[in-house]
């Protein structure tokens, strides 16, 4: 099995963490889509990572799809509830975390433009998404049911990868203010080997 991606992508990190947690052997192929000579489009016509190449030669792309595929392999630990509606609720939290990541990536890209060309209204809109998303994730984490519960799940992993990306790119540096439950969640998860091994440098 091969995971095609980049070391700094939070979406790729999520899949790497899941593969490590399930102890599934895989080869990591570092191929940032923006690099000259990237072959990502051979695996995903949208030119986005992650993409997963199975041992049978089938390709899955987009991290939620890859997560679903890995769960269908029935390899412990199970990271989604078996009950469909409860699984959907956990996936929604994971989707919210991904949405925060999407907004954070948009901020990174916009801030790379010359200051005179930046769209301030766009930046404000993306910051709003990040902060509102984090507020809701704090509520979910405080409830301790589908996020920050007793068993590790996809929502936990997605949120931790999102917060790791915010730290890595210095987006919303004050995110931890008044969000103590999220702080405790990531401190606990970042201590796991799967997160330590996938920390971007």
Region of residue 178 (left: phi > 0; alpha: psi -120 to 50; beta: else): left
Domains and CATH numbers, the chain: 2-72 (3.40.30.10), 84-192 (1.20.1050.10)
Interval 86-99 mean pLDDT: 98
Question: Is 82 strand, coil or helix?
Answer: coil
Question: Does the pLDDT of residue 107 top 90, yes or no?
Answer: yes
Return the pLDDT at 164: 97
pTM over 0.75? The answer is: yes
Interval 161-176 mean pLDDT: 94
Question: Does the pLDDT of residue 115 top 90, yes or no?
Answer: no
Question: Does the pLDDT of residue 201 top 90, yes or no?
Answer: no
Of 39, 45, 46, 50, nearest in space to 1 by CA = 50
Computed over every residue of the chain, the mean pLDDT equals 96
Of 10, 6, 8, nearest in space to 130 by CA = 10
């Amino acid at each position: 099995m091969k995971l095609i991606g980049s070391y700094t992508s939070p979406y790729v990190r999520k899949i790497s963490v899941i593969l490590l947690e399930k102890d599934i052997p895989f080869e990591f192929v570092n191929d940032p889509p923006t690099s000259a000579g990237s072959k990502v489009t051979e695996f995903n016509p949208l030119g986005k990572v992650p993409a997963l190449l199975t041992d049978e030669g089938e390709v899955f792309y987009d991290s939620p799809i890859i997560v679903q595929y890995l769960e269908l392999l029935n390899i412990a630990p199970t990271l989604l509830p078996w009950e469909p509606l409860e699984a959907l609720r956990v996936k929604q939290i994971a989707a919210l975390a991904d949405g925060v990541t999407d907004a954070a990536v948009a901020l990174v890209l916009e801030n790379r433009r010359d200051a005179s060309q930046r769209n301030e209204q766009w930046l404000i809109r993306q910051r709003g998404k990040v902060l509102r998303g984090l507020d809701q994730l704090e509520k979910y984490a405080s409830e301790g049911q589908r996020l920050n519960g007793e068993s590790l799940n996809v929502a936990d992993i997605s949120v931790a990868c999102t917060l790791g990306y915010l730290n890595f790119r210095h987006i919303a540096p004050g995110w931890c203010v008044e969000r103590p439950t999220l702080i405790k969640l990531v401190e606990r998860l970042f201590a796991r080997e799967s997160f330590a091994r996938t920390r971007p440098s």
